[in-house]
Structure 1
Amino acid sequence: MRAMGRGALRVLRGGALPLGAALLLAGCASMPSGGEVRKVDNGQQADDNPRVLVYGIPPHPGESAAEIVSGFLEATTSGEPDFATAKKYLTRALEQRWDPKARITVLSSSPQSDGGTDFAPKATGVVIGVSGSKTAQVDAKHAYSPNGGAFHTSVHLVKQGNEWRIDRLDDGLILSASDFQRIYHSVNMYYFAQLGPDGQRSGSRQQTLVADPVYLRKQQTDSLADTVSALLGGPTTWLAPAVASAAPSGVRLYSKGTGQGVLVDDSQRLKVRLDKKADRLGHDQCMRLAAQLFATVQGQASAKLASAEVQRADGATICSLPSSQALTPTDMVGSTSKRYFIGSEQHQLYELAGQDTAASPVQGPFGSAKADLVSVAVRRDGEMAAGVRSDGHLVVGSFTDGDSFRASQLTSSAQNPKNGLSAPSWDGFDDLWVADRSPAISRLYVLPGGTGAPALVDVPGLEGRVESLRVASDGVRIVLVVDEGGNKTLQLGLIQRGGTLDQPQFSVKNLRDLTPAGESVSSVSWAGPSQLVMQGSDIGGGGQQIHYVSTDGSVAAALESIGEAVSVAASEDPTRPLQVASSNGYIYWLPDDSNWKRVTPKGGSPVYPG
């Protein structure tokens, strides 16, 4: 076996991408135990390096069949959007039907060739095997999915004239992980949450955006058009059951116009021109589509958009959404910027604001010296909380002096409170989620409004016991830490809502395993519209690591091992700092472009609202 490649790629450095950003990679940091500790990258920052354009080399006369396959694979890693050079390695017939966008197979390293079958000097056909170790796959809707295992495919070549050319080949691309990272980047599409009756109760029906990360090519002159086309194509298969798009079925960009139908003018007004399938688009539906377009493009643009305008094929305006009416991915996160934790001495709830390092007890029963809390969740408006006390009981109360705890209707069947109710979590519609960790039977519950009658949540496909959970503000995604025979995995599920306003029904489906390979997860938190931050350790113990993990399963490089950390907390608003609880009894938080700061008094269980 040999690695494919002739080292014949040409590299040219150019200007910065208009919408480009590097694959999310985290920096390194460690908890302060003496000396200076610098801020870590959260994995979502744009790459500031100049754009690197890579051009493939066309086939040379007289090249062998193996060299043709090698040259073809190299040419597919170029920056050419139409794969013009790569197609020169194909027969004329295959050039017309080969679809490079059908899928991407990502290998851990460069693909290997078996050198081809034995054939006589005058043979007119040959088969060359290509193999490698697969790490992921990207489908035709640009959705990334971790997918390990052995990979093998065959490439058939024939003589076209006196030269070898490929005449049979699977659709799609085969890329090494390093080439994939260089060529593609993650971009969030935005769709509306399907909230069912619960959405009517919240008054936010069809007004909550959910991020759907996909991988698009960086090195494109028409990146805006690629981004909008991906949005119009609809959500990824995994997210589709929980969201909806306002784009008419089958609608496409009007590609004959300027910018392939997408333009941002000098006044930062986004203009999207659609084909004839949008000609009957009504105003309300158009405004929802404009909201999706605004959020999706704004997430990739360097300047703030002023508006999003949707046009018919003839260029007439259907609707225009000003920035003042636009929806943002953090609308449901909550307005409070405070951070919270449970104090070590009296087990009461403390709060921090701004650059503070000295915390104060909150008002109301949660700040009382008799709070006796072991876990807590602050409602997203910062005016109410729910917590589990040391006796295992779930309580709810406000941050108002003179108020008292109200006991929840939910109790655990566990004899030992340590095996009872998990730390609760609020979605953006004031519903409270909590797991009963009873060894007898593990169950997931929702308390509508935080104090309503507990509704049992159906979780088909769940194996093991839910140890902890965090629900997204959008109310349609939930992440679970699940104990499967001593190994704790990270599972992401879709929340589906049904029933009636008086008798809501909930289920969590399409569980997706996001656990980094070889790790056991101990703590997780939402850290952005499509990103989680998790703390884990090597299976069997030791080797603690903190990862930023995308909801599609792609994992950024681990931060340097933080041996002192016992839990981690972040916000869906990525402008808010990371928090870590240390085994030395202190909370640390990480200001932007600064060092870790230690908080007093001692405590644990750091949280943001949610």
Structure 2
Amino acid sequence: MPKVRQERSGDRESGLLISLTGKQLARVDGKHAYKPDERPFQTGIHLAQEDGEWRIDSPPSGLVLGVADFQRIYRSVNKFYFAQLGAGGDGQGRDVLVADPVYLRKRIDPVTSTVNALLDGPTSWLDPAVGTAFPPHTRLKDNRLSLDDSNTLKVRLDFGGHRAGQEQCLRMAAQLLYTAQESARVTSVTLQDGGGEELCHLDRDGAKYYAPERIAGRPDRVYFIDGRHRLVSLADGEEEPRRVPGPFGTDGAAPLRSVAVDRAERRAAGVSVNGQTLHVTELTAGATPGEARLTVHGGAKAGLSQPSWDGMGDLWVADQDPEHPRLLRLPDGTGAPQEVALPSLDGGRITGVRIAADGVRIALLINKGDRTALWLGRVDRRTSTSGEVRISVADLRPVAPRLVDVDGVSWAGGSRLLVAGSEQGGLPQLQFLETDGSASNSSAVPGITGVGGVAAPDTTGKAQALLAERDGALVRLLPDTNWKPVPGEGTAPVYPG
């Protein structure tokens, strides 16, 4: 809580000036977006005496809350918008929903406030990379929304003179259903025009086509590199890892330093032991690693980072060359590498890459000097007049500013990350963080220290196994158990993606 101090006593003419001082941790803007922003805080409130009572005569804008009050009054909610993937975003990419976290009041009509926040549009940071199916200036016709006995949410909308076809209506309903589920157990959504006439209806089964996790893969099998540099996998119900078929595993023809398995679990991208070449191969017996898709040069601390697949089948990887650090994208995993434009790294280099399934957000570990920090970037796509899609990462923002060093990161759901990092003077520990930098509502990770690389299933559904790298070996956390060692040596754990 801020410290309160009276600056001067004053009289009826001068009044009282009350000073509030403290340490600011974060801000929530007019679009309800949370942003870590640590700095000294100071403001003043002027009181005037009226009818024998002291009253604030010119209230400052905004609301100042202590951490405990903020957590008691506000809740984190994901709104959902459609990814804008440029000319290459036709087909399945057109209907990819992206989570946009905001903070709303807990107990003040949560369903209505959540839907209103959705209609207000995406937060400023995400807005350039997403779109909405709702026509401009769409508003609720009713002041309050509620669910009927079958948990259907009926929503009357004022489209401001616009008309929506059936396909557009279903896309609006999908946004509403997944957003409203953050506040209530919604089984279906019915959209109506201002006069109450039904426009479309969408239930959970029909909404699966738009489900944010639709392109995230099946999070029930984790992959890693064993002590002989081969690719192995481990399912939730298995005790012993087993080598995967193909040149990265059973054939042993291409020893690896790190790997990424695509979200359909049909292909893998592997970085050679020396970190200088990238191969992409099928996960089938008899497949060959083929020619290197990418070759770089550098010492043991340079080379290629661990690669990462998005949900559209594109592959992302960083060249850690200190003299010329680059972020690269291979269309469909096998296309010619394209350098992705980046903001200035100010002498830093990218040492870790985890692209979200939606292809719109990317988590980057950026090393500068003796510190590695976690940043989240927005992937912007611009289509030129010639039809060429130009891709860049923009508006890097810190996700874990209180961690002085971050060793590993993994997507763990639509707007959640599993992070291994250490605070000043502490040991590396695991924690869940939201992509806006706020603490996650997820259950705390049981205590474990000294961890490096981490892997979490990219889902917010049922509890899944977590893997963490520790001194050249792996430990696993299954639901409702404690951390247990995985047999044998192991490094670079990843779930598909």
Q: Structure 2: how far apart are the matches of 1:420 and 1:243?
A: 33
Q: Confirm whether residue 352 of structure 1 aligns to residue 234 of structure 2.
A: yes
Q: Which residue of 1 aligns with 2:198?
A: 317
Aligned equivalent of 2:493: 606
1:290 corresponds to: 173
Equivalent of 1:597 in 484, 487, 492? 484
1:208 and 2:96 correspond: yes
Report Cα offsets for 1:109-168 as digits up to 9, x if no partner: x22222142323x54633322222111110111100111112222222223222222120
Q: Is the 8 A contact 1:478 1:495 kept in 2?
A: yes
Q: Is the counterpart of residue 491 in structure 1 residue 375 in structure 2?
A: yes
Within 5 Å, which residues of 2 pair with 1:475-554? 475-499=359-383, 504-538=389-423, 542-554=426-438
Asked whether 1:126 is paired with 2:3, we answer no
Q: Map of 1:418-437 to 2, 5 A cutoff?
A: 418-437=301-320
Aligned-partner residue type, residue 570 of structure 1: A
Aligned residue in 2 for 1:405: 289
- Matching residue of 2:157: 274
Q: Report the 3-state secondary structure (helix = DSSP H, G, I; strand = E; otherwise coil) of the residue aligned with 2:17.
A: strand
Give, as a single letter, the amino acid of the residue that structure 2 aligns with 1:356: E
- Which residue does 1:330 correspond to in 2? 213
Letter of the 1:586 partner, please give it.
A
Matched residue SS, 1:114: strand
Q: Which of residues 557, 563, 567 in structure 1 aligns to 2:449?
A: 563
The code of the aligned residue for 2:65 comes to L
Deviations 1:461-488 (A, max 9, x none): 3231001110000001001100111210
1:306 Cα shift?
Answer: 3.0
Kindly tell me: are residues 538 and 147 of structure 1, through their superposed partners in 2, closer, same or farther at Cα, counting changes over 3 Å?
A: closer
Alignment correspondent of 1:138: 28
Alignment correspondent of 1:440: 323
Give the Cα–Cα distance (whole angstroms) in 1 for the partners of residues 401 and 476 of structure 2.
24
| C-alpha separation in 1, matches of 2:382 and 2:226 | 39
Name structure 1 gaps, 5 residues minimum.
Answer: 1-109
Provide the secondary structure at the position in 2 that maps to 1:402: coil
8 Å CA contact retained: 1:374, 1:389: yes
CA–CA separation in structure 2 for the residues paired with 1:427 and 1:264: 36
Hey, which bits of structure 1, 4+ residues long, moved more than 6 A?
A: none
Higher deviation after alignment, 501-510 or 398-407: 501-510
Say if 1:516 and 1:555, in contact at 8 Å, map to a contact too.
Answer: no
Partner of 1:111: 2
- Return the alpha-carbon distance in structure 1 between the equivalents of residues 51 and 290 of structure 2: 84
1:512 shift after superposition? 0.5
- Cα separation, 1, equivalents of 2:199 and 2:444: 46
User: Contact between 2:87 and 2:387, CA under 8 Å: does it hold in 1?
Assistant: no
Q: Tell me if 1:170 matches 2:60.
A: yes
Q: Report deviation, 1:377.
A: 0.1
The separation in 2 between residues aligned to 1:230 and 1:454, in whole angstroms, is 39
Give distance in 2, aligned partners of 1:503 and 1:234. 28
RMSD: 2.1
Question: What secondary structure is seen at the aligned counterpart in 2 of 1:602?
Answer: strand
Alignment of 1:180-199 (within 5 A): 180-199=70-89
**AA matched with 2:39:** G
CA offsets, 1:242-286, max 9 Å, x none?
A: 111112222222235xxx1x2221112121122352762332222
Question: Is 1:370–2:257 an aligned residue pair?
Answer: no
- What SS does the aligned partner of 1:263 have? coil
The letter for the 2-side match of 1:359 is P
Asked if the contact 1:408–1:451 (Cα under 8 Å) also holds between the matched residues in 2, the reply is no
Distance change (3 Å), C-alpha of 1:356 and 1:242: same
Distance 1:543 1:558 in 2: 17
Change (3 A) 1:590 1:278: farther
Structure 2 counterpart of 1:383: 266
From 155, 159, 166, the counterpart of 2:45: 155
Q: Deviations over 1:505-525 (max 9, x none)?
A: 321001011133142111111
Once the two structures are TM-superposed, the CA of residue 537 in structure 1 deviates from its matched residue by 2.4
Larger radius of gyration: 1
TM-score, length basis structure 1? 0.76
User: Could you tell me the TM-score, scaled by structure 2's length?
Assistant: 0.93
Q: Distance in 1 between matches of 2:14 and 2:219?
A: 71
The amino acid across from 1:562 in the alignment is I
Secondary structure, in 3 states, of the residue corresponding to 1:264?
coil
Q: In the TM superposition, what whole-angstrom CA distance separates every residue of 1:382-408 from its partner, at most 9, and x where no partner exists?
A: 010001011321111011111110233
Bigger drift between 233-242 and 278-287 goes to: 278-287
**What residue identity is the alignment partner of 2:256?**
L
Mean Cα deviation higher: 148-157 or 182-191: 148-157
The CA distance in 1 between the partners of 2:14 and 2:50, in whole Å, is 9
Counterparts in 2 of 1:296 and 1:179: CA distance versus 1, 3 Å: same
Partners of 1:291 and 1:321 within 8 A in 2? yes
Verify the 8 A CA contact 2:320 2:351 in the aligned structure 1.
Answer: yes
The answer (yes or no) to whether the contact 1:248–1:278 under 8 Å persists in 2 is no
Quick one: which amino acid aligns to residue 398 of structure 1?
E
Preserved CA contact (<8 Å) 1:154 1:169 = no
SS in 2 for 1:565: coil
In structure 1, how many angstroms separate the alpha carbons of the residues matched to 2:449 and 2:201? Answer: 52
Partner Cα separation in structure 2 for residue 560 and residue 600 of structure 1: 20
* Distance apart, 1:561 and its partner CA: 5.5
Q: Is the 8 A contact 2:260 2:268 kept in 1?
A: yes
Shift of 1:409: 3.3
Distance 2:484 2:445 in 1: 18
- Judge conservation of contact 2:314–2:331 (CA < 8 Å) in 1: yes
**In 2: Cα distance, 1:275 partner to 1:112 partner:** 46
Deviation at 1:458, TM superposition (A): 0.4
Q: Distance in 2 between matches of 1:558 and 1:291?
A: 31
Q: Deviations over 1:386-433 (max 9, x none)?
A: 01011321111011111110233321132x254111111000111110
> How big is the shift at 1:189?
0.5
Q: 1:265 aligns with which of 131, 144, 148?
A: 148
Q: Percent identity?
A: 43
Q: Amino acid of the residue matched to residue 127 of structure 2?
A: A
